[in-house]
Amino acid sequence: MNKLDPLGTFQWPELFQKYFPNQEPEHISNWPKKLVEEYHQKAIEFTLKHAYNNNTYYQEQFKNHNVTPEDFTNLDDLEKFPFLQKDALRGNPWLLLSVPKKEISHIHMSTGTTSQSIGDHIYQLHTWEEFYTISKYIKPNTSANIDPGDIVIIALPYEMSSAGISLHRVHENSTNSIVVNTGKGGFYSDPLKTIIIMKDLKADVILTTPSYAMYLSEIAEENGINIIKDIGLKKMWITGEGCSNSYRDRLQNIWNCKVFRNYGSLECGPLGVECDEQNGFHIYESFIHMEVINPQTGDILPPGNIGELVVTSLNRVGAPLIRYRVQDKVFIETAPCPCGRKTARLFLRGRIQDQLAVAGQSFSPFQAEDLLYKIPEMGNSHQFIFTKSGLTLRIELKCGIENTPELRDKIKCQMEYILGEIHKIEVVDKIPRTGGKTVRIIREEN
Amino acid sequence: MIIDAHAHITEAEYGSVDLLVKSYDKSGIDKGIVVPGGMVDVREMSLYITGEKKASQEIPNHVVFDALKKYPDRLKGFVCINPLEGDKALETFQAGISAGCVGVKLNPMSHTFAFSGNMLDTIADECGQRHMPIYSHTLFNPGASTTKYAEFAKKHLNTNFIIGHMGFGALDTHALNFAAKQKNLFLETSSACFLNLVEALKKTGANKIIFGTEFPMSTSAIELFKIDELPISESDRNKILFENISSLVPSLSS
Ligand SMILES: [Zn+2]
């Protein structure tokens, strides 16, 4: 039964009916490649026509590139069509509107990581029908899946950004679990309250950010709640922030459950989720089409090459995305996953804006984080501070570990393996927890 | 006279000391310097690079200590130290000296450290006072690069440093340039490609090049063949095959 359509009167879109007659798009992970391609071709054909006929921006862009939807006869033809750039969306809420405005039922807005000032915010428009179907399309068919009746705590921001409310919808409408929203506003929930709710309801699953999951475990400990005995999560989904393997290992040990990364973006919505192998995101192939391009030339790269992710939405009508450049560095693995699913897997190789540089050498903060949390004396929080004298690494030590010059020297020696040069290791008792988006990078160069 | 300046020995049969000595006999190698192997199973090397397997953090120095007892006339040993182990690193160093080791082996890949910090400085100074060279390979990582190794060597001019396998990758130009410039920096030949040797000779001359085998990854015969192929004089060949390492490790001459 569909909770949002108890009478069964909802009119599913034509393509959905044709390809997913049993309303189980997650089964695309078992489809032969040919059928996936056929579905993608039909869905892109539909999206191109819909956008061209209903949106002046796309119409102009297509004309400038001398293409019409008729030029799309197979998947390879997609490369004839122009890219959609992130900057075009900034401060242009209605740019992609492709239905009468009154059909839009919800607008998401960027969380502020890249949008800071007036005129550079990004908005995403959705129709009710879309929401209704999207939540079906992105039901994960991996062991990250959530069972009917599971108590699912959503400790993510609900204010404007998409992660909290869209995952809320997925689980309410699609996995038939019992959703408890503890997130609020631009900040996360009151942590103690969330822990109490989790204990009272015996929560099965939590959806949150890695740093907030750590924060919750600390608050529980401070208040005498044993998260393993008193709550006993079945699994955890993390999203919103990058997370190294070693930090994830710590979360898995602390919460005594498997932790699955989730990958998505405001503009594209959910893009993939991990399976038991925890090795790459199984792509939601029922919902999006992916290409990987050389960011300099725009040429499509064969599978396995690292490049920039480009996304085309397959079932969105309110504001469809056509060849949207996500600005994330990725590669796609088409070889079957050891878990048995046939869907391609996406590997994130860093958001282009995340790369940092020390003494002219660039590094990924998550690669450094991975090494940092393997150090046994290391506590559960850190910050990279860029000062005029160089990089300061501010860390907490594990409870009971003494802060000695020898230990700082050792940590410096180990972290310089990846960072090349560290100006100072600064040990503090506690890096303040914000309850909001965690700040790991601080710039004090001026 | 031929001396192999770099061989690994393992507890496992594929890299046992008996096998090594047998290969020395076959190829006419007189002596060798052994370091502990087996922290990574080199038969599955790529799995460690991709992260599918994790290097053991226990250093099997005892394999070297035992080998020195078994073949006192044929073998010398380098003790492997992880500078991140704090006081334990110094204890390991002392244990190595007690067991007769004549140099220090570093393994920045398995132990993930940079060529920096007080512990490495202490070890390098101790090595200098005892005429014990330091041997390490260099990596692509910013803190364990050839450049950082050369900087480390520059800080300790009384200590000799050997760049394993002539540096990082197929042909490490930095390694050749640093070895040409810095008096206390040497290049070890095992696994290095032939052109690398030719270029090194041009830049550093034979005085900076030291023959090694990288047993059990390679064999004595294969590595010796590279040296035989070099268009050099008999005296230069002798420098590479035993004189250079003998001047770094005085006890090899006794
Ligand atoms: Zn899988």
* Coil, helix or strand at residue A171: helix
DSSP per-residue codes, B106-162: E-HHHHT--S-SHHHHHHHHHHHHTT--EEE---SSGGGSHHHHHHHHHH-TTS-EE
pLDDT at A2: 58
* Residues A268/A313, Cβ–Cβ less than 8 Å: yes
> Given CB atoms, is A417 within the 8 Å cutoff of chain B?
yes
Regions of chain B short of the pLDDT cut 50: none
pLDDT in the model for residue A81:
97
Closest C-alpha among A436, A414, A158, A306 to residue B117:
A414
Measuring CA to CA, which residue among A288, A330, A324 is closest to residue A308? Answer: A330
- Regions of chain A where pLDDT drops below 50: 186
Closest by Cβ to B144, choosing from A363, A371, A417:
A417
Task: Decide if A410 and B144 are in contact by the 8 Å CB cutoff.
Answer: no
State ipTM. 0.83
B186 and B210 Cβ atoms separated by less than 8 Å: yes
> Nearest residue of A to residue B52 by CA position?
A279
Mutation target to probe the A interface, by most A beta carbons within 10 A, among B87, B118, B155 is: B118
Helix (H, G, I), strand (E, B) or coil at A244: coil
Total domains, chain A = 1
CB pairs under 8 A between A and B: 62
Has residue A123 been placed in a domain?
no
Instruction: Say if the Cβ atoms of B86 and A413 lie within 8 Å.
Output: no
- Cβ burial of A55 (10 Å; 0-12, 13-18, 19+) is buried
Give the pairing type, strands A281-283 and A288-293. unpaired
Give domain status of residue A156, yes or no: no
What is the C-alpha to C-alpha distance for residues B20 and B14, in angstroms, rounded to an integer? 9
CA distance A134 to A174: 9
Task: Judge: A416–B83 Cβ closer than 8 Å, yes or no.
Answer: no
Query: Is residue A419 included in any domain, yes or no?
Result: yes
In eight-state DSSP terms, residue A165 is: H
**A42, A68, A81, A323, A368 from A77: Cα distances, Å:** 13, 11, 8, 12, 40
Do strands A390-397 and A123-127 pair parallel, antiparallel, or not at all (unpaired)? unpaired
Q: Which residues, including other chains, have CB under 8 Å from residue A116's CB and lie 6 or more apart?
A: none
What lies within 8 Å, CB to CB, of A338 at 6+ separation is A277
* Residue recorded with tokens 């792509």: A283
Give me the CATH number covering residue A382.
3.30.300.30
Interface contact flag, A417 B84, Cβ < 8 Å: no
* Nearest-angstrom CA–CA distance, B97 and B87: 16
Q: How far is the CA of A40 from the centre of ligand 1 (A)?
A: 21
Using DSSP, state whether A104 is helix, strand or coil.
Answer: strand
CB atoms < 10 A from the CB of A27, how many?
A: 13
Task: Give domain status of residue A387, yes or no.
Answer: yes
Q: How far is CA B97 from CA A232, A385, B8, B9, B107, in A?
A: 52, 42, 18, 18, 18
Rounded distance from Cα A174 to ligand 1 centre (Å) = 21
Find the domain containing A420 and state its range: 356-443
Residue A88 lies in a domain: no
* Minimum distance, in Å, between the CA of residue B140 and any CA atom of chain A: 10
Residue A43 lies in a domain: no
Nearest by CB to B120, from A413, A419, A420: name it: A413
At B239, the amino acid letter reads: K
The half-sphere exposure of B250 on its side-chain side, counting CA atoms within 13 A, is: 4
CATH fold of B3-253, please? TIM Barrel (3.20.20)
Residue A224 CB: number of other CB atoms within 10 A?
A: 7
Segment A123-163, tens digit of pLDDT? 888 888 887 777 677 676 677 778 888 999 988 877 656 67
